[in-house]
Structure 1
Amino acid sequence: MIECSVNGILLDVEGTTSSIGYVYDVMFPFVREHLAEFLKQEWDRPALMGACQQIAHDAGAGSLAQWCGGNLEPSHVQQLVHDEVIRLMDGDVKATGLKQLQGLVWRLGYDRGQLKSHVFEDVPVALKRWAKDGLNVRIYSSGSVTAQRLFFGHTDAGDLLVYLRGHYDTTTGPKKEATSYAKIAQEMRYSPEEILFLSDVVAELDAARAAGMKTALVVRLGNKPIEPGHEHPTIESFDDLVVTRG
């Protein structure tokens, strides 16, 4: 059991609140299956165009038109975007444009009732308890803010958004850089030491600790093995935490 006195809790998603298996075995395959259909049906929608522009920027181009070599025929651009998304997913790249587009495709699945987010059993109980105790609980994930809201709004335990006060993604900064956590602390209006960050990735915890945050490593069934030598306290469930207001 770990006791901690803070005012805010920052949570990772994959491997922390939800199983890695659900993300890789359900959510990512859904994008692969429905991407081509989505691009055709939603083409010219502002949100999709914004995601495509970001994908072009992530690829090093100054604009979508430049990335496409000046050929803006919809079928041509859609194919380029489709192929780039699949390439990035195959490489498990945490690119901002990719995450934005994935979030848009997942919305299709949630709206149709084809997706229902998995969360570990201890997560809804802990979120409710922390919210009741007045703790400021927020999410920081490589998945876009749009995807995060969809994820927690459609879980197998119901809508959990009511317990969350904010969301951050890679537009805030890389998850393995201390400056990202310093920026989040500033936006939460707390000093970093008033925030507890929970994640299954040691490098992310190292960055958060370097920024001054308190940390704990979450070890869930199905997570990747952890290399020895890290200095973070370890939990297997949110039930292992006793968090009080600082």
Structure 2
Amino acid sequence: MPEINAKIVICDIEGTTTSISFVKDVLFPYAKLHLKDFLQTHWNEDVTKQIVADLINLPEYKDFETKPLNQTKDGLSPESVAEFAEYLMEKDLKLGPLKTLQGLIWNRAYIDKTIKGHIYEDVPNAFERWTKDGIKICIYSSGSVMAQKMLFGYSDFGDLMPFLTDYFDTAIGNKRESKSYTKIVQQLGTQSDNILFLTDITAEGEAAAEAGLQVIILKRPGNAPLTAEELKKYVVVENFDEIKIKNTCKV
């Protein structure tokens, strides 16, 4: 592939730096298993109260058929909120408070080394190479910023956070909407064509391209297959070793 001129690389996580199976077969089941215990243990803490309030009041619920959040005569309980959160996880909704709750549960698992963050082996070397070349590396994922930092901070390859400068989650916007990438460009303070976005999802790539970013699609094992049209439309690689970047951007 031709060498790309960029000063910033933004990486998706699932299917890009990290296997989809790790997220679906390790992280999500762990969060589901420990929802009730976490809520029971931390029920009276302010952060939990805020998460519960946000879960109840999110306007996104109006767009989905959701079962009601069960309440007793005494109000909500850790058990009912846990049941509701598990239901939302099964629907795979990208909701901020749900992601925050998951991140808090994973945080404990990373710290006590129950879980280590899976990172593809080509990623750390690429991070080091790009950083030496003066290229900033950022993360944009539907997972909370907290969960992102824990994944890279407690990875199979140790602490990779020194390579990362900025983190973005769905608080900035939906990953399949171009305006989200426009906001990121504004926050990073550069021109959109100075940024390379790496993802496994072509809908995200399309949104990023509409905002003026350069895009490469990752074709990792276990990722959704790409159509012939997608293979023709996008630059596609199988790992980060194939990505050659130089930084001669003037702005």
1:53 Cα offset (Å): 2.1
Which of 105-114 and 204-213 deviates more? 105-114
* 1:96-125 deviation per Cα after TM superposition (whole angstroms, max 9, x unaligned): 111111001101111221010100000000
1:70 Cα offset (Å): 9.1
C-alpha separation in 1, matches of 2:212 and 2:244: 20
Q: What residue number does 2:137 align with? A: 137
C-alpha separation in 2, matches of 1:46 and 1:170: 22
TM-score, normalised to structure 2's length? 0.90
Residues 71 and 152 of structure 1: is their aligned pair in 2 closer, same or farther, counting only changes over 3 Å?
farther
Q: What residue number does 1:168 align with? A: 168
Q: What residue number does 1:98 align with? A: 98
C-alpha separation in 1, matches of 2:72 and 2:31: 27
User: Is the CA contact (8 Å cut-off) linking 2:172 and 2:180 kept in structure 1?
Assistant: yes
The answer to whether 1:6 aligns with 2:6 is: yes
Which of 129-138 and 208-217 deviates more? 129-138
Q: What residue number does 1:47 align with? A: 47
* 1:4-44 deviation per Cα after TM superposition (whole angstroms, max 9, x unaligned): 00111000000000000011111111111111111111112
User: Is the CA contact (8 Å cut-off) linking 2:17 and 2:119 kept in structure 1?
Assistant: yes
1:46 Cα offset (Å): 2.4
**Counterpart selection for 1:237 from 218, 236, 239:** 239
User: Is the CA contact (8 Å cut-off) linking 1:131 and 1:163 kept in structure 2?
Assistant: yes
1:226 Cα offset (Å): 1.8
The answer to whether 1:107 aligns with 2:107 is: yes
Q: Which AA in structure 2 matches 1:241? A: I
Residues 104 and 134 of structure 1: is their aligned pair in 2 closer, same or farther, counting only changes over 3 Å?
same
User: Is the CA contact (8 Å cut-off) linking 1:71 and 1:77 kept in structure 2?
Assistant: no
C-alpha separation in 1, matches of 2:127 and 2:49: 35
User: Is the CA contact (8 Å cut-off) linking 2:71 and 2:77 kept in structure 1?
Assistant: no
TM-score, normalised to structure 1's length? 0.92
C-alpha separation in 2, matches of 1:27 and 1:227: 29
C-alpha separation in 1, matches of 2:170 and 2:13: 13
Task: Report the 3-state secondary structure (helix = DSSP H, G, I; strand = E; otherwise coil) of the residue aligned with 1:198.
Answer: strand
C-alpha separation in 2, matches of 1:50 and 1:146: 16
Q: C-alpha root-mean-square deviation of aligned residues, in Å?
A: 1.8
1:68 Cα offset (Å): 6.8
C-alpha separation in 2, matches of 1:176 and 1:39: 31
The answer to whether 1:185 aligns with 2:176 is: no
Residues 116 and 244 of structure 1: is their aligned pair in 2 closer, same or farther, counting only changes over 3 Å?
same
* 1:138-162 deviation per Cα after TM superposition (whole angstroms, max 9, x unaligned): 0000000010011110000000000
**Aligned ranges for residues 75-86 of structure 1 at < 5 Å?**
76-86=76-86
* Unmatched segments (≥5 aa) in structure 2: 63-68
Q: Count residues with an aligned counterpart.
A: 240
The answer to whether 1:226 aligns with 2:237 is: no
Task: Report the 3-state secondary structure (helix = DSSP H, G, I; strand = E; otherwise coil) of the residue aligned with 1:165.
Answer: strand
Residues 163 and 105 of structure 1: is their aligned pair in 2 closer, same or farther, counting only changes over 3 Å?
same
Identity %: 37
1:173 Cα offset (Å): 0.2
Q: What residue number does 2:65 align with? A: none
1:2 Cα offset (Å): 3.9
Q: Which AA in structure 2 matches 1:80? A: S
User: Is the CA contact (8 Å cut-off) linking 1:13 and 1:140 kept in structure 2?
Assistant: yes
The answer to whether 1:158 aligns with 2:158 is: yes
